[in-house]
Amino acid sequence: MKMFSSADARDMPLAAERTLPQVSGTFVLIAALTLLRMGTAAYLPLSFDESYFWLWSKRLAISYFEHPPLIAFAIRSGTFLLGDTELGVRLASLVASVAASWAVFRAAALLMPDRSRAWLACAYLNATLMMASQGMAATPDIFVVAAAAVLLLAVVELQVTGNGGWWLAAGSAVGAAALAKYTSFFLGLSLVLWTAASPQGRRWLASPWPYVAALITSVCFGPNLIWNEAHGWMSFKYQFGRIVVGRPGLTYILEFIGAQIALASPFILALAGIGLALNSRLRTWRRPVSIAVAVIWPAAFYFAFHSLHDRVQGNWPSFIYPSLAILAASAESKREGLRHFIAVCHRFALPTASLLLAVSYLQTWTGLIPIGKSDPIARMTAVGFEPVARKVALIAETHHAGALLTTRYVTSGWLSFYVRPQVPVLQVTEGYRWSDAPVPSATLLRKPLLYVTQHPDRELREIAPFFSTVDLKTCLPRARNGVSIDIFCIYLLSGFHESLKMRGALVFVPSREKALN
């Protein structure tokens, strides 16, 4: 049974070819951007979150403090193939970004009679700073983006073919997102909204397919519930506790809007806004593109509300970007003034986005503008950390240190990944992050230990009472192009007071020591 007629196709916006890039050029751009992400993934040092998730992958579990387990298993698969390298850590994310691009292209090709619009939707997605950053980073966001793209494709296929089996794909997409990040709840809500608001969705309520899809999603999310029940629901308390935190004001919403203009690029976001407005009217919910509308509105309302009292991180709405790309590519109007504006936006969308990407990649690769801590790439990734890691390794070898001791997960991840030869890493704070990690033995604590910190003035007092000797060995900067980003201080600790109970978790144990145990 066909559920998407030729009349529906005629109702979709048609291309004005003179304003759209040629298919061949668009394909070359998509391929170039994909290869650029791959090259950057191999070159750029890990961010502190990536190294943190890499530590998760060394101790697989059915869930973790901040997120469900998919990112840990994804990193483990990449490092199994390519080893503990930056590219190995990010390999699965790159694959997910390609899958998202394909799903957006396929969904757009089904939605729009002009195939060039499908290529354009794929190009718009890949040309955003959001995709450039999330599409290569080993974080949960790209897997939710890919799941959102597959959800779009599944629901469009459902409407085009009338095959109820696509409900299983839709439920699996939401389930996969639920294994990645809690923002997956928005995808589930979007599917419910589309089913209730769209005539094509409501007709399926009398069949078993939507309920089987819901069952698949529930099964995927089940392990997370089991883990949280066993750990005092700590993930839910942490993530959902943010909903009512903060002070009312306009600062955060302006920051949120500005961030999305930059991450989507101005013309692509303008086109997406027009496409959203044109397809949000009640009578347009019969169009297959209505699933893209359903994905955007719940998230847009929530993030706008949240930004009235607290900061919305730029990456949080990343999962709506496949829908934004499709709506941007579909934007067209018969009204003269609006049609001219849309044509201008299409003409400048990719050149403007490409310029923003070029500046961003140039700064990422070279640090051309020496702005120190103000550079988010330098601040968040281990750029310039290699000299620090070498010095830590040298001091550890000289003093026969049994472990590296930290008080921040940021430092724990980078030391575990970059110090060679590897040394056990013991973190004595933030125990909630390491609830399943082993505790250090008394034998280990009796050995000399190296404490590495960026904030000795406020963190050393958490460590010093447990040791009779605390000796500052050196402080050295992490710098890029001669500009300091931050400073790491290294202390030699000895004489552990066994009568004092020091909490701690062995967050990293080298494989050679695991083998000995």
Closest CA to 217 of 248, 198, 192: 192
3-state secondary structure 312-338: CCCCHHHHHHHHHHHHHHHCCCCCHHH
Distance CA 268, CA 254 (A): 19
pTM for the complete prediction? 0.92
Query: What is the arrangement of strands in the sheet containing 425-427, beginning at the earlier edge strand?
Result: 467-480, 483-496, 449-453, 403-406, 425-427, 505-508
The pair of structure tokens assigned to 355 is: 């310029």
Closest CA to 158 of 195, 193, 188: 195
Residues ≥6 apart with Cβ < 8 Å to 502: 428, 445, 466, 496
Closest CA to 75 of 97, 58, 61: 58
Residue 401 main-chain phi, psi, to 5 deg: -65, 135
pLDDT of residue 372: 75
Residue type for position 446: R
What are the residue ranges of helices labelled H in 138-265?
Answer: 141-161, 166-178, 184-197, 199-202, 209-230, 234-240, 251-264
All residue ranges of the chain with pLDDT < 50 are 1-18, 515-517
The pair of structure tokens assigned to 261 is: 């203009």
Are 341 and 266 in contact by the 8 Å Cβ rule? The answer is no
Residue type for position 292: A
Neighbours of 418 (CB within 10 A): 19
Q: Tokens 């496949």 appear where? A: 322
Residues ≥6 apart with Cβ < 8 Å to 409: 48, 52, 427, 430, 433, 507
CA 450, 455, 459, 465 dihedral sign is positive
Residue 445 main-chain phi, psi, to 5 deg: -70, -25
Closest CA to 91 of 136, 57, 40: 136
Q: Tokens 């930056």 appear where? A: 86
Plot region of 296 (φ>0 → left; ψ -120 to 50 → alpha; else → beta): alpha
Distance CA 157, CA 165 (A): 10
CA dihedral 352, 354, 359, 362 (to 10 degrees): -170
Chain centre to alpha carbon of residue 365: 20
SS3 label, residue 121? helix
Instruction: Give, in order, the Cα–Cα distances in Å from 14 to each of 11, 131, 159.
Output: 9, 26, 20
Residue 50 CB-half CA count within 13 A: 30
Distance CA 191, CA 53 (A): 29
pLDDT of residue 250: 85
Q: Please name the helix (run of DSSP H) or strand (run of DSSP E) that holds residue 491, with its range, or none.
A: strand 483-496
Q: Please name the helix (run of DSSP H) or strand (run of DSSP E) that holds residue 196, with its range, or none.
A: helix 184-197
Chain centre to alpha carbon of residue 279: 28
pLDDT of residue 184: 95
Concatenating the DSSP letter of every residue in 414-457 gives HHHHH-SS---EEE-S-GGGGTTSPPPPHHHHHS-EEEEES-HH
Peptide bond into 351 cis (omega under 30): no
